[in-house]
C-alpha cells in the first residue's frame, strides 16, 4: 500500500472512531436517556431506584414506589434527607387526569416566638440546635400520599429500607465525603457519633454501614401507619431531645400536625405549562424567571453566550427580590401569587433589565394588594410523582433523638425575626421553604416530572431545565448534564439584602471568553464550585417513559 493511501486510511479510521464518540447526544452528555414502557424511577441513589422498581414490579404504583425509595434514601443518603425533615410532592393521577400538590412541611412549635428567641440572646434563629427545629413533616407526607393514592400495604413499603439498615449497604464515595464533612460539624452533638461514626469515624467509600436504630424506627412507622412518629414512643424521644436544651415543642405540635393538599400553580412557557407549588416554598420563583425570559429569543443566543447568561441572571435577581419580600406561609400571610406569576407583572419587571449591564440592586415589585434529595417515579397505569424531601443544611439541626437513628431538620432557621415581615417567626407557622418539586404538562397531558435540588439553586435550576428542553431542544439527559449557572447573593426571606449584585457562579464548560464578557458587563464571576444541584426527571412521550439522572451525584434512572 502506498504511503499516501495509508495516511488517508489512518485519517479515515481516526475520523470514524471520533464520530462514534458521542452517539448519545451533545458533547457534555454523560449518557443516553433510559427508556422503559411499564415504569420508570429516577433517584439520587441506585439502591433507592432499585427499590422503586421492586415495588412497581410487584404491582405497586408510582406513589407506593416513591415512598419506599424515600425511606431507603433516608438511610443511604442521610446527608441529604431523612424522616426528621419535610416533604413536598406533585402527583399526576391517571384516573382523574389532573395534578395534585402536597405540602407536608411542618410549622414552628406553638410556644416558640420572636421574643423567646431574643430572650436567649440571639438576633436570628440559630442554624443548629433545638430552636431551629420545626415539626418534621416527611412521615405524615408519606401517609397522606398513601391514603389518597397508594395501592400496596403501607407496611410492605419499608422492607428494603429495614433490610439495608439491619444488614448494611456499601457507602458511596459521595456520601462518604459528605458524612466526613458532617462529622466536623455534628460530632459533639449527642448521639451523632453513635449512629454515623462506628469505630470512631464516619464510614469510608465502599465500607458496609448499618443503622439498626433507624431499622427499629422504620418498623414502628410501618406497623403504626406513621402514628408512632407523632404520638408514640418516637414522638416522645423527639420531644425529650428538643426540650432538654432550649426547645419548647410540645406533644400537640406533633400530634396535631396535618399535611396540606394544595393546588399546583403554573405559567405557560412557549406552549408548555410549567407547574410548581405555591409558597411557603420558592417554586413560583422559577415561573417568574421563565415569564421574564419568554420575551427573548434564547434559542438564537444559545447556551454558550454571555447574552443569555446575563439575561438569566438578571431575571433571577428580579424574582428573588420578590421571593425575599413576599414568599411565606399562605395561612398567615397575604401572598399575591396570581399577580407574581402573571405575564403582565413579568412585562413590568422586564423593563428593569439593562441588556448590557448587570444590576447591582433591585427593589421587589409593588404588589401590596438550602442539601436535599429529589426523586420521580412513573408506573404502567400512567401515574407520575415528583417528590422532594430534605432536612436542610445537609443533615439538619444536629439534634438526634435517642434510640431513633435520624436527625431532626433545622428549617426554622429560615424565619425572619422582623415581626413586620411576611415570613416572621410565629408559633404554629411554617417557615419559608427551599425544596420544590416541578412538573410540565402539554395540552393537558403529562410531559415531564422533574426536580433539581440544592437550596437557592432550585428555582434557577428548574428554569434552566425548562429552557434547555424547550429553547435549546436538548433531550432529557442532556438538559440535566448541560453546564449550569448559579447566582448567589440575592436578598433573603430572613432579612439579608443583596449587596453589589451578588456573584455569578459558572460550572465548568463555560469558556473564559464568556466569563470575560460577563465581567465586562459588571458581573462578579467566580469559577469555584457554586453548588449546582442534583437533577432527576421522567418524560412521557408517545406512550414511552424516558428517564434521566444526575451525573454530579450517585443518581440512577432505570425502567422496565
User: Using one digit for the tens of pLDDT, what is the confidence trace for 532-559?
Assistant: 989 999 999 999 999 999 988 899 999 9
Q: Average pLDDT for residues 415-440, to the nearest whole number?
A: 96
Closest C-alpha among 480, 479, 490 to residue 455: 490
In the predicted model, is pLDDT for residue 296 greater than 60? yes
- The more confident residue out of 22 and 92 is 92
On the CB side of 372, how many CA atoms lie within 13 Å of its CA? 32
Greatest mean pLDDT range, 11-25, 170-184, 369-383: 170-184
Asked if 457 and 312 touch (Cβ cutoff 8 Å), the reply is: no
In the predicted model, is pLDDT for residue 12 greater than 50? no
The pLDDT value given to residue 530: 65
The pLDDT value given to residue 5: 53
Q: Average pLDDT for residues 376-402, to the nearest whole number?
A: 96
The pLDDT value given to residue 531: 84
The pLDDT value given to residue 365: 66
- The more confident residue out of 24 and 135 is 135
In the predicted model, is pLDDT for residue 518 greater than 50? yes
The pLDDT value given to residue 22: 55
What percent of the chain clears pLDDT 70, i.e. is strictly above it? 94
Q: What is the mean pLDDT of the chain?
A: 93
- Domains of the chain are 34-86+101-258+374-414 (no CATH), 262-372+434-551 (1.10.246.130)
Q: Average pLDDT for residues 55-67, to the nearest whole number?
A: 98
Closest C-alpha among 555, 551, 560, 545 to residue 532: 551
DSSP symbol at 398 = S
Q: CA–CA separation, 324 vs 319, rounded Å?
A: 9
Residue 352 neighbours by CB distance under 10 Å: 15
Task: Tell me the CA distances in angstroms from 170 to 42, 55, 387, 397, 439, one per residue in order.
Answer: 20, 22, 25, 26, 33
Q: Average pLDDT for residues 292-311, to the nearest whole number?
A: 97
The pLDDT value given to residue 19: 42
Ramachandran sector of residue 273 (left: φ over 0; alpha: ψ -120 to 50; beta: rest): beta
The pLDDT value given to residue 370: 45
pLDDT digits (tens, 9 = 90+) for 96-110: 999 999 999 999 999
The pLDDT value given to residue 24: 62
By the 10 Å C-beta count (0-12 exposed, 13-18 middle, 19+ buried), 256 is classed as middle
pLDDT digits (tens, 9 = 90+) for 437-450: 999 999 999 999 99
In the predicted model, is pLDDT for residue 299 greater than 70? yes
Asked if 84 and 404 touch (Cβ cutoff 8 Å), the reply is: no
Position 13 confidence tier, pLDDT thresholds 50, 70, 90: very low
Largest CA distance in the chain: 90
Q: CA–CA separation, 353 vs 335, rounded Å?
A: 24
Q: CA–CA separation, 440 vs 197, rounded Å?
A: 42
Asked if 529 and 369 touch (Cβ cutoff 8 Å), the reply is: no
In the predicted model, is pLDDT for residue 18 greater than 60? no
pLDDT digits (tens, 9 = 90+) for 461-494: 999 999 999 999 999 999 999 999 999 999 998 8
Lookup result for grid cell 425509595: 69
The pLDDT value given to residue 20: 46
Q: Average pLDDT for residues 178-196, to the nearest whole number?
A: 95
Q: CA–CA separation, 275 vs 88, rounded Å?
A: 13
The pLDDT value given to residue 500: 84
pLDDT digits (tens, 9 = 90+) for 109-129: 999 999 999 999 999 999 999
**Bridge-partner residues for 559, per DSSP?**
40
The pLDDT value given to residue 454: 86
In the predicted model, is pLDDT for residue 11 greater than 80? no
Q: Average pLDDT for residues 6-30, to the nearest whole number?
A: 57
Amino acid at each position: 500500500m502506498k504511503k499516501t493511501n495509508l495516511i488517508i486510511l489512518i485519517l479515515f479510521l481516526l475520523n470514524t472512531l471520533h464520530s462514534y464518540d458521542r452517539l448519545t447526544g451533545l458533547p457534555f452528555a454523560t449518557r443516553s436517556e433510559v427508556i422503559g414502557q411499564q415504569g420508570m424511577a429516577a433517584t439520587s441513589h441506585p439502591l433507592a431506584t432499585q427499590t422503586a422498581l421492586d415495588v412497581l414490579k410487584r404491582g405497586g404504583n408510582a406513589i407506593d414506589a416513591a415512598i419506599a425509595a424515600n425511606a431507603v434514601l433516608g438511610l443511604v443518603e442521610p446527608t441529604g434527607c431523612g424522616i426528621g425533615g419535610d416533604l413536598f410532592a406533585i402527583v399526576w393521577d391517571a384516573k382523574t387526569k389532573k395534578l395534585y400538590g402536597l405540602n407536608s412541611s411542618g410549622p414552628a412549635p406553638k410556644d416558640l416566638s420572636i421574643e423567646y428567641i431574643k430572650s436567649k440572646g440571639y438576633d436570628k434563629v440559630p442554624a443548629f440546635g433545638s430552636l431551629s427545629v420545626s415539626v418534621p413533616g416527611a412521615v405524615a407526607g408519606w401517609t397522606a400520599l398513601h391514603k389518597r393514592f397508594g395501592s400496596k400495604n403501607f407496611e410492605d413499603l419499608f422492607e428494603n429500607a429495614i433490610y439495608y439498615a439491619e444488614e448494611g449497604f456499601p457507602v458511596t464515595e459521595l456520601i462518604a465525603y459528605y458524612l466526613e464533612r458532617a462529622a466536623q460539624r455534628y460530632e459533639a452533638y449527642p448521639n451523632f457519633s453513635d449512629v454515623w461514626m462506628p469505630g470512631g469515624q464516619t464510614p469510608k467509600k465502599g465500607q458496609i454501614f448499618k443503622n439498626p436504630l433507624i431499622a427499629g424506627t422504620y418498623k414502628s412507622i410501618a406497623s403504626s401507619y406513621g402514628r408512632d412518629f407523632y404520638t408514640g414512643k418516637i414522638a416522645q424521644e423527639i420531644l425529650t431531645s428538643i426540650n432538654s436544651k432550649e426547645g419548647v415543642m410540645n406533644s400537640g405540635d406533633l400530634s396535631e400536625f396535618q399535611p396540606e393538599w394544595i393546588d399546583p400553580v403554573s405559567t405557560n412557557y412557549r406552549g408548555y405549562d410549567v407547574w410548581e407549588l405555591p409558597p411557603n416554598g420558592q417554586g413560583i420563583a422559577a415561573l417568574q424567571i421563565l415569564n421574564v425570559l419568554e420575551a427573548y429569543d434564547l434559542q438564537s443566543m444559545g447556551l454558550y453566550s454571555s447574552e443569555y447568561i446575563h439575561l438569566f441572571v438578571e431575571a433571577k435577581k428580579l424574582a428573588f427580590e420578590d421571593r425575599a419580600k413576599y414568599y411565606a406561609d399562605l395561612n398567615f400571610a397575604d401572598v399575591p401569587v396570581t399577580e407574581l406569576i402573571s405575564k403582565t407583572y413579568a412585562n413590568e419587571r422586564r423593563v428593569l433589565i439593562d441588556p448590557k449591564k448587570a444590576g447591582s440592586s433591585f427593589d421587589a415589585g409593588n404588589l401590596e394588594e438550602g442539601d436535599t434529595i429529589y426523586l420521580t417515579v412513573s408506573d404502567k397505569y400512567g401515574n407520575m410523582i415528583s417528590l422532594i424531601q430534605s432536612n436542610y443544611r445537609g443533615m439538619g439541626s444536629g439534634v438526634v433523638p435517642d434510640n431513633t437513628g435520624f436527625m431532626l431538620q433545622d428549617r426554622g432557621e429560615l424565619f425572619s425575626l422582623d415581626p413586620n415581615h411576611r415570613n416572621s417567626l410565629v408559633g404554629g407557622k411554617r417557615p419559608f421553604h427551599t425544596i420544590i418539586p416541578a412538573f410540565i404538562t402539554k395540552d393537558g397531558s403529562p410531559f415531564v416530572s422533574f426536580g433539581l435540588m440544592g437550596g437557592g439553586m432550585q428555582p434557577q435550576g428548574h428554569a434552566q431545565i425548562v429552557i434547555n428542553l424547550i429553547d435549546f431542544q436538548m433531550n432529557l439527559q442532556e438538559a440535566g448534564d448541560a453546564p449550569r449557572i448559579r447566582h448567589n447573593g440575592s436578598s433573603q426571606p430572613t432579612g439579608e439584602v443583596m449587596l453589589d449584585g451578588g456573584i455569578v457562579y459558572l460550572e465548568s464548560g463555560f469558556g473564559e471568553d464568556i466569563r470575560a464578557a460577563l465581567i465586562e458587563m459588571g458581573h462578579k464571576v467566580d469559577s469555584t464550585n457554586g453548588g449546582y444541584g442534583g437533577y432527576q426527571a421522567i418524560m412521557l412521550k408517545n406512550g414511552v417513559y424516558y428517564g434521566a439522572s444526575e451525573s454530579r451525584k450517585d443518581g440512577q434512572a432505570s425502567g422496565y
